[in-house]
Amino acid sequence: MTLGRRLVRVASPLAALGVWQLLTSLDVNLWLRFEQFPTVVEVASALADRIGTEAYWQDLGHSLRRIALGFLLAAVLGVAAGTAVARSRWAADVLGPLVEVVRPIPAIALVPVAILLLPTNEQGIVFITCAAALFPVLVSTRHAVRALDPAWEEAVLTLGGGRARVLFSVVLPGSLPGIFGGLSVGIGVAWICVISAEMISGEYGVGYRTWQDYTVVDYPGVFVGMATIGVLGRLTSTAVEALGRRVTAWLPRPSERGADVPSRAPGSPADAAPTRAAVVVPVPVPEKEPVP
């Protein structure tokens, strides 16, 4: 990344904070009522006070534990179910209709189900977090597995490999980019729902503390909670993306694909009249149907 892009990425949030401070300090009221907002200085002061308290770090620990448990469960179940639906007609017939019916239901709407089904609020929040992240992972895995080139599987079978070898040597490695795309989406959705669940039925956590600040009209505290949620979401999403790049380091990157193409001088015969051998027509690979 160039220095100019780095400077833009740093200047963008600083400019937003500057506009926020200007509008709130001047009590601007042009349809949007900024006079009721706390200033950046007030929020920063409240954050400095909160960081020095044990309750702040206790809330962070509760929210991070809930995210870790719910997201890991969603990752394991989503990858397993998505692969099964894509590879097996039986799994597609049994699980496919259930997935398509349950998937449109917002995870936060499952709070009553969690309260009735599970014995503790803690387990209910983890359940809601898992449900939120499950379907992005499952659907992305399903599409990634079905989009694999059938020639790879046929090559393994021709060399004497069995279905287990195909699964672990072709299907899962080839689907990793799509799987991590679903994981990246899932971690963001999980944060949305864990905070909402903590506001409704939690006893500790960033969401619970933010709602408590709102009920006592502590608006700087509310914005401290919002900022904390944003930073935590950004850090966890970056961690998932970094893990994805590390696990798929063996794949060619867009910047590497054109590295071996030799450059030609403008106006050369190759530019004026390309031969038939030089013309490559991409052939789309259809999604593979699941096997019985």
pLDDT tens digits, 51-94 = 989 999 999 999 999 999 999 999 999 999 999 999 889 999 99
Please say whether the beta carbons of 47 and 227 come within 8 A.
Answer: yes
Q: What is the pTM of this model?
A: 0.79
Here the tokens at position 232 are 């935590």
Is 210's pLDDT higher than 60?
yes
Confidence of residue 269 (pLDDT cuts 50, 70, 90): very low
**pLDDT tens digits along 87-118:** 889 999 999 899 999 999 888 888 888 888 88
Q: How confident is the model at residue 253 (pLDDT cuts 50, 70, 90)?
A: low
pLDDT of residue 29: 84
Whole-angstrom Cα Rg for the chain: 25
Residue carrying structure tokens 């052939």: 283
CA distance 66 to 232: 13
Both tokens of 274, joined, read 């390309």
- Local confidence band at 150 (pLDDT 50, 70, 90 cut-offs): confident
Q: Give the pLDDT of residue 254.
A: 62
Reported as half-sphere exposure (CB side, CA atoms, 13 A), residue 179 has a value of 24
Q: Where are the alpha helices (DSSP H) in 3-53?
A: 3-25, 40-51
Per-residue pLDDT at 230: 92
At 27, the pLDDT band (50, 70, 90 cuts) reads confident
- Please state, rounded to an integer, the average pLDDT across all residues of the chain: 84
**Residue-level pLDDT at 64:** 94
